[in-house]
A and B are shown apart, each in its own frame.
Chain A
Amino acid sequence: MMKGGKIKLRDFHEAKWDEPIIFELNRKGERGILVPEVEKEIEEEVGDGISVLPEHMIRKKPPALPEIAQVRVLRHYLRLSQETLGATINIDIGQGTCTMKYNPVINEVFARSPKVTELHPYQDQETVQGALEIMCKLDLFLRELSGFSRFTFQPGGGSHAIFTIMSIIYAYHKHRGEEEKRNEIITTLLSHPSNAAAPAVKGFKVINLYPNEYGLPDIEALEEAVSEHTAGFIVTNPEDTGIFNPRIKEFTKIVHDVGGICAYDQANANGIIGIIRAVDCGFDLGFFNLHKTFGSPHGCGGPAVGAVGVTEKLVDFLPVPLVDYDGKKYYLNYDVPHTIGKVREFYGVFPVVLRAYAWIRSLGAEGIKEVARVAVLNNNYVMKKILSEIKGASVSFPKTKHRIEQIRYSFEQLKKETGVSSEDVIRRMADFGFHLWTSHHPWIIPEPFTIEPTESYSKDDLDEYLTTLKRVVEEAYEDPEKVKNAPYNCPIHKIYHEPLEDPKKWAITWRAYLKKRKNWE
C-alpha cells in the first residue's frame, strides 16, 4: 500500500478474540430477549394454550439452548464478525470465480426497507405493485443484456439455476416424447462442478470434454460426443482460465444439429456483460448470478438468485409464476402450459432482485459495458505483473494470450523449487489480510490459484495485492518453513483435517463434539 509516499507491506493482524463456542456462554437464568405474553382476557378464554395437546406431543425436556443476556449475545457475534474477512474490508481479488465486487451500500438501504422486508408473497397483488414492477423491469433489463425472451428469479443461486436449466431441458424433451432417448448432457471439465453435478440429479449421464493445449474444449471431441442421445450442452465461457472459446457458435450449432439444447453458464459474466449476448452465441437458455455480476452481496454463501433466461421456444417450460404487466398493473402469471412447476417456494429472493435492479439503474448500458471493460483491463494488468514479477508463478494454458476477467494460475515451479505449495501461499496471504484461492476440482493445473480482479479495485489496490503476493513468494524462497506454517496473524492457526474425515471423530454440532471429543485423544 502507499503510506508516507512509499509502497509498503501492510502491518496487518486480523482480530483474534479466542471466542468460546456460544454454548460456553450459558449462564442459567439470563435472558436474551423477552416474548410478549398474552392479554389477560385471552388467557381467561383459552387457558394456557398448551393443554389442548395430547401429552405425547408436548416437549418434555426443553431444548438445551444456552441462556445468555442480550449484550453478551451481541458481543459474541460482533466478535465473530470481526474474525471474518468480508469482501468490503479487503482487496478481494483472490477468490477467483466468485466475482467479488463492491456491493453498493445504498442498495442495502433499499433491501432493508420495511417496504421490502415486511411483504408476504401471498398478499393481494394490488398491494405489492412496487415489488412486481421491480421484478418485471429487471426481467426486461436482463432480456436486453442476454437476448433471451424471459427470465425467472426463482432459483436461489448459480447451482440451483443449473438444476433449473436441467429441469427445463428434461421437460422440453419429455414434451416431445424423447426424454428416455435423450439422456446425456455434455459439459466441459473446466466448467463449474455443478454443471456436471446438477444434470446427474435430473438423471442425465454426463460427458465431460477435456481442454486442449489452448485451454479450450476440442471441437472434434464435441463432434464425437453428440448423438441422438444428446439432451443438451452446458458450458461456462470463458471458464476460470479466462479464455473465451471463439468457436462457441460452432459448438452450439453442432449440438443443435443433433436436436440438443444449449445452455450458457454465465455465473462468470463480469468480463462480457454488455459485450456479447448469449443468444448471439447460439444459446437457448442460460443464467446470470445476481449476487455476483449484479452487485448483490454474497452473504457468506447466500441468499442469492440465479436468474434463468430462455429463448421463446422454452418460455412455456419455466417455473411458475412469471411476472407480467397488462398495461395497467403488474401481475403474477401462472399460465405457463408446460411448466416444470417450482424450484423454490414463491418468487425468489426479492431483496437480491431489488439490489440488481438498483445496480443496473445506477450504471446504465454504458456503465455496465465499462464494468466489463475495466474488469478485463484489471485482469490483464494483474496477469502481466504476475508473469513478469512473481517468481515461480505461471499462467495456465500459456499458448493462449487473450484473457477475459479471471485466470487460473499455477505455482508448480514454486513448489518444485521451494516445496511451498499454492495452499501454503494462500495461508500466508491471509497473514496480510488477503484471500487467495486454489481452483475448482479436478486440479488439472498443478498447484493452482485463481485470481479475478473485478472492476471494483483501483490500480493501487491491485498493486498492493501484487506487492504482497510477490513478498510471500520471496519468503517461500528465503524461508519456506515460514510460509508452510502460516498463518500467524489470523484469528486461528493451521487446522488439523483428520478429525473432519473420521466418522468416529467428526463433530458437526457442539453436542456431537461433547460426546466424541474423547475419541480425539
Chain B
Amino acid sequence: MVIKKDGKTIVHPYIPNSVPEVQEEMLREIGLKDIDELYSGIPDELKFKGKFNLPEPLLAECELKRHVKRILSKNKTCEENISFLGGGCWPHYVPAICDEINQRSEFLTAYAGEPWEDHGRWQALFEYQSLVAELVDMDVVNVPTYSWGQAAATSLRMSCRITKRDEVLLVDTISPERLAIIRNYCEPLVKVKLVKHDPVTGMMDLEDLKSKMSNKIAAIYFENPSYLGFIETNGKEISEIAHDKGALSVVGVDPISLGVLAPPSHYGADIVCGDLQPLGIHMNFGGGLAGFIATRDEEKFVMEYPSRLFGITKTIVEGEYGFGDVAFERTSFAKREKAKEFVGTMAALWGITAGVYLALMGPKGMWEIGKTIMQRSQYTMKKLSEIDGIKAPRFKAPHFKEFVVDFNETGMSVKEINKRLLEYGIFGGIDLSKSFPELGNSALYCVTEIHTKEDIDKLVQALREIIEGKR
C-alpha cells in the first residue's frame, strides 16, 4: 500500500521509494510480497488498526506554505512593535552573516560525523569554545548545553562532585525560570538554599550569606548582571567567602556584557556559565537559548564536565590541525550510568553561531556594544524617572541592559499598563508582581543596542500619557 488520495496513488516527494514499481523490485530482492510481512515480528494485537485523527495532507508545497504562513501571520513580532522584554531572552541585533552560516546545509543538517569528514564542524565548535574562552578569560569552555538554566544546574552539580559536598547557595534574585530548572535538576541529591538580597541595592546580603555558609556548601551561585538587571559589585567578597569555606564560586553571566564588564574569573569565579543567545542568535520565542560552561584548565574541573569538549590535536600529516573529544570516557556515551550526568543533542548550531558573532565583533565591537547598551539603558531610566510616579531603577546600583521599573506610585498595575502600551505598539517590560511580590507593581525592562532614542522617547511619551491620563 502506498499513499492514496481520492483513489489516486501519490508518490510523496520526501519518500523516493514510494514509487510502487521500485517497492516491488526491492521486495523481490528480499524475497517477500508485501511490506507488511516485514512487520511480522510485531504482534498483531499491538498494531494500530484505527484511523488517526490527523488533517488531510497538504501535498503540494504551495498549499503547505499558504497554510503555515496563514497561521504564522497571527503573530505580532518584536520587529513590528517596540519590545522592552528581556529576562533571559533578549532582543539584540543579529548580523546577517550569523544566519548565512547557520543556515548552510552542511552545518544545518550535519550531526555526529567523525573528525576527518566533519572537520569543519569540529573546527567551528573548537573555535567557538576558544572565542568564548577569551570573553570569560578562562581556558576551558564546553560544547553548548540546552540553556543558561541547564548550564547553571550542571555547574552546581559539577561543584558538588569537585568538593564532594551536597548543598548549594543561590542568590534569591536569580531568574525564576532558572531557579525552577536548578531545583528540579538538583532534587533529590543536592540541597538548594537561597541567600537574601539587600532591598536597597539588590546585591547579595553578605551577612545572610555568611550565616548560611558551612563546610557542607559546595558552591555559591550568583548572576552578573543579575536577573533584575543590576550589577553585583561584591563578586570578589562573595568568592572569598566561598573559598574560605572550601566552596566554589559559580557565576552566571550575560556574555554580551563582557566587553565592558570585568569577567567573573577576575573576581574569583571558579565556574562561569551563561547563555549564548545574545551572541548572534534570534530570540525564536525562547528557542534561541544555548548554555555555556567555562572553567580553568585543571583536571579536577575538566573531568567533571558532562559535555563534549572538543580539543585540538595532530594528524599523521605534519602541520595539519585535527580535532577530537577530550577525555571522552567521562561522558555518558562511554560510561552510561557511571558517567558525569548525561550528554546528547543539545545546542551545537547556536555554539557555531556565537563563534561567528564573536569573530565579527572582535574586542572593539564588544566594547562598543557594551557601551551603547549602557548608555541607552541609562537614558531610558533617566527619562522614565522624570514621569511622576515612576521610579527607575528600583535598585540603587549600576545596571547593564535591564532594570526594574517601579510603578507602585502610579496606582496602576503592570498588567494594565502593558495592555495600554500594546495599543501604542509597545511591548512593556516583564511583570514582576508574581515572581517578586515584594516589589509590588514593578516590571523588568530591557534596553539594548537596537533601541533608538526615538523608540525610547516613544515609550516615555506613551507611559506619560497612560499614567497621567489615568490620574
Contacts and interface: CB of A to CB of B under 8 A. Distances in A.
Contacts of A150: none
Given A301-B346, A499-B311, A361 B58 contact: yes
A492 B180 contact: no
B282 A117 contact: yes
A341 B120 contact: no
Instruction: Give the 5 A-B residue pairs with the shortest CB-CB distance, closest first.
Output: A346-B286, A364-B57, A159-B344, A402-B41, A32-B360
Contacts of B364: 31, 62, 67
B247 interface: no
Contacts of B261: 53, 57-59
B68 A110 contact: yes
Nearest to B349: A299
Nearest to B77: A118
Contacts of B436: none
**For this complex, into which size category does the number of interface residues on chain A fall?**
35 or more
A186 B189 CA distance: 20
Interface in B299-340: 299, 302, 308-317, 320-328, 332-339
B14 A365 contact: no
B289 interface: yes
B200 interface: no
Interface in A240-293: 243-244, 246, 248-249, 272, 274-277, 280-281, 289, 291
A275 B344 contact: no
B277 to A, nearest CB: 10
Interface in B1-38: 1-4, 10, 12, 14-18, 22-23, 25-27, 29-31, 35, 38
A141 B54 CA distance: 6
B304 to A, nearest CB: 13
A75 B251 CA distance: 35
B55 A380 contact: no
B64 to A, nearest CB: 5
B233 interface: yes
A68 B42 CA distance: 58
A333 interface: no
B422 A510 contact: no
B286 A121 contact: yes
B108 A201 contact: no
Query: Which residue of A201, A249, A378 has the most chain B CB atoms within 10 A of its CB atom?
Result: A201
A506 interface: yes
Contacts of B286: 120-121, 345-348, 350
Interface string A424-449: 00110010010101001110000000
Contact of A119 (B77, B108, B335): B77
A494 B112 contact: no
A84 B120 contact: yes
A65 B349 contact: no
A349 B281 CA distance: 13
A193 to B, nearest CB: 5
A199 B337 contact: yes
A77 B356 contact: yes
Contacts of A451: none
Query: Which residue of A33, A401, A461 has the most chain B CB atoms within 10 A of its CB atom?
Result: A33
B278 to A, nearest CB: 13
B109 interface: yes
Interface in A112-162: 112-124, 126-131, 133-134, 141, 144-145, 156-160, 162
Interface stretch (B124-132, B209-217, B405-413, B461-469): B124-132
Contacts of B262: 56-60
Interface in B84-142: 85, 87-89, 91, 93, 95, 97, 99-121, 123-127, 129-131, 133-135, 137, 139-141
A82 B120 contact: yes
B362 interface: yes
A81 B39 contact: no
A476 interface: no
A342 B184 contact: yes
B199 interface: no
A22 B355 contact: yes
A86 B107 CA distance: 6
B470 to A, nearest CB: 19
B3 A370 contact: yes
Given A430-B114, A492-B119, A495-B313, A33 B95 contact: yes
A127 B119 contact: no
B177 interface: yes
19 contacts: A22-B127, A35-B361, A35-B372, A35-B449, A48-B375, A121-B285, A126-B422, A197-B332, A198-B332, A202-B188, A302-B345, A319-B184, A341-B180, A345-B149, A346-B285, A361-B67, A365-B54, A370-B15, A494-B315
B395 interface: no
B226 interface: no
Contact of A511 (B74, B133, B452): B133
B349 A38 contact: no
B260 A58 contact: yes
B18 A21 contact: no
Contacts of A42: 375-376, 379, 453
